[in-house]
Amino acid sequence: MTTPPTTLGQRLRGMRPQVSRDTLLSDLGAGLAVGAMLVPQGMAYALLAGLPPEVGLYASTVPLVLYAIFGTSRQLAVGPVAIVSLLSATTIASVADEGTAGYVTAAALLALLVGVVHIVLGVARLGFLTRLLSHPVLVGFTSAAALIIGASQVKHLLGVSLENDEHFHETVWELIQKTSDAHGLTLAVGLGAIALMVGLKRWLPVLPGALAAVAVTTVASVVWDLESRGVKVVGEIPQGLPPLTIPDEFGIIGTLLPAAMVITLVGYMESIAVAKVYARRNRYEVDANRELIGLGAANVGAGLFGGYPVTGGFSRTAVNAEAGARTKLAALITAAVVTLVIVALTPLFEQLPSATLGAIVVVAVAKLFDLAEITHIRKLKTADFVTLVVAFLATLAFGVELGIGIAIAASMVVVAVRMMTPHTAELGRLPGGSLYRNLARFPQAERVPGVAIIRFDVSLSYLNVEFLKRRVQRLVDESGPELRAVVLDASGVNDIDTSAVETLAELITDLDEQGITLHLASAKGPVRDVLMRAGTYQQLGDRVHDQVPDAIAAVTPGQVDGHGTTPPGVPTETGPLARPESRS
């Protein structure tokens, strides 16, 4: 594996092609391909965020350069993406009216805040906090977001305006009501753009479908003067790069900050997931905390140069990698392509129909609704599927920000429930040996007469100690009056807290009063350390054993295998334990 460069000089040198003409050509081709894709996507995603199209272009220049300097992925394509655009639109709409200068300023300030949150998490090495968003939650959230985004763009395809589109059901209902008001020519342009992009992807994937749709519909708009026929077009786009500007609406920082944290969480999860995929394929490593800093720098650049929040995108990264990107030079070439468009080519897009930009968004987000993955999770684990459904329904019903909050809370509840009701197994001995397995899974396993063996497959804590106590007592009740001993197989217990230690001590006393001895087997070093400090280790005395067979040998000397003999390799005496401080 290649170690990522750590100094600024090393990062800059790492962006240069590796003394290879093939590398230079590969990066050049990849940079041009992604640039051709990013120009129309950047404008389309800006439209999704309620911003002028040029803001999407601004967010596709300086941020790419800054990520190339500070990030660690060689293939990740940074820029505007659909979900972050949707989150940005929801957030900015709460502090400014769409179409105003304040709205654009709020977008830049939001990008700056997202950048700061990224950098703080990266410097403090708190990247692990993003694990709050589990894979099922992310799948449910993105699938719902895909529907919300798609519905939000239908108005551009129909050529109608909506009065209330804050929630999915409201958007859908209003669209249904306004279907009769659809502008036929606008709808034809939008559907034609979708058909062209889907067709090219299927039959001629080497051509950038979004760029082709932009070119064809813009030419059609000019030739047939579609604007005069009622088709809304992009209009004038300012030429030239915006100057470095510090957003000055500091009074709304408190309102924007919670959303900035959510955007950081969602954007980083999307980015790091795709970055790791291509790092594995190309045999190098990405540093999770350095990725936070790289994305933070990109967002700070977006905020200072007229953009809005950005992150790494799935589709553009795939194009970048498939086109041959080998170093970060590809990102710089992409930035140069977008810069050239801003400086010299924006007049070419003035007659671009807004319906085309809506069509680009619809096609791009269609793949976010991953039915195959939803089906896979449903088959894999019911609890994860429930979390996915909660994330999906909450996002549709309450919007993206509240929806993801509810989904994360639901995910934590599922984890807590799993810890409170952990998997346990009553063990029996397999015939002819000293192996002990789950009686429910191994029909050939046999109970040891007078002994109940139970295994807990979770760390013991205040969340599950009462479950432990009830489970053991139920086992005692089921075993009948001939029960002489309970063996607790602790091989699946990695840790134990104070509450669990106290409950274990109570359990020992309770069983002693019933004439039943509790034996502890296979406890790991960290668990033995805590038991030693608590005095429970001493309370158990010679009832602590290295392995389950040792405990059985101590309880049933001379009758370990049920036939009056001891199987080979099973000691009849408890062997010396590793010292308590051992980590084994």
* Whole-angstrom distance, CA of residue 1 vs CA of residue 284: 5
With beta carbons less than 8 A apart as the criterion, state whether 552 and 578 touch.
Answer: no
* Whole-angstrom distance, CA of residue 354 vs CA of residue 231: 8
pLDDT number for residue 166: 65
Query: How many angstroms separate the Cα of 438 from the Cα of each of 170, 441, 464?
Result: 53, 5, 21
Pairing of strands 424-429, 436-438: antiparallel
- Could you tell me the domains of the chain? 10-413 (no CATH), 422-555 (3.30.750.24)
The H or E element containing residue 486 is: strand 485-489
> How many angstroms separate the first and last alpha carbons of the chain?
30
Count of beta carbons in the 10 Å neighbourhood of residue 117: 21
Q: Is 84 helix (H, G, I), strand (E, B) or coil?
A: helix
pLDDT by residue (tens digit) across 14-33?
Answer: 444 444 788 888 899 989 98
pLDDT by residue (tens digit) across 368-389?
Answer: 888 999 999 999 988 889 889 9
Task: Tell me the pTM.
Answer: 0.76
Q: Measure the CA dihedral 184/190/191/197, to 10°.
A: 160
How many Cα atoms occupy the beta-carbon half-sphere of 152 within 13 Å? Answer: 31
Query: How many angstroms separate the Cα of 410 from the Cα of each of 182, 261, 265, 420?
Result: 40, 19, 16, 15
Q: Is 456 helix (H, G, I), strand (E, B) or coil?
A: strand
* Whole-angstrom distance, CA of residue 359 vs CA of residue 374: 25
Dihedral sign, Cα of residue 211, residue 215, residue 216, residue 222: positive
DSSP sequence for 534-565? HTHHHHHGGGEESSHHHHHHHHSTT-TTSSSS
pLDDT number for residue 127: 75
Sort 330 into a burial class: Cβ within 10 Å, 0-12 / 13-18 / 19+. buried
Query: How many angstroms separate the Cα of 39 from the Cα of each of 43, 58, 152, 351, 366?
Result: 6, 10, 21, 15, 19
pLDDT number for residue 146: 87
Q: Is 191 helix (H, G, I), strand (E, B) or coil?
A: helix
- Angle, alpha carbons 393-399-402 (nearest 5°): 90
* Whole-angstrom distance, CA of residue 80 vs CA of residue 59: 7
With beta carbons less than 8 A apart as the criterion, state whether 114 and 262 touch.
Answer: no
Place of tokens 């790991």: 524
- Type of residue found at 24: L
Selection from 429, 423, 453, 452 nearest residue 442 by Cα: 429
* Whole-angstrom distance, CA of residue 524 vs CA of residue 491: 7
Residues in the chain: 584
Q: Is 425 helix (H, G, I), strand (E, B) or coil?
A: strand
* Whole-angstrom distance, CA of residue 169 vs CA of residue 151: 10
- Type of residue found at 541: G
Sort 121 into a burial class: Cβ within 10 Å, 0-12 / 13-18 / 19+. buried
Q: Is 60 helix (H, G, I), strand (E, B) or coil?
A: coil
pLDDT along the chain (584 residues), means of 10: 52 50 88 91 94 96 96 95 92 92 95 96 83 81 88 90 76 88 94 94 87 93 94 91 88 93 90 87 89 96 96 88 89 96 92 93 86 92 89 88 81 83 90 87 90 91 88 89 92 91 90 92 91 89 91 76 40 38 38
With beta carbons less than 8 A apart as the criterion, state whether 419 and 383 touch.
Answer: no
With beta carbons less than 8 A apart as the criterion, state whether 71 and 295 touch.
Answer: yes
Structure tokens at 547: 């392995």
pLDDT number for residue 88: 95
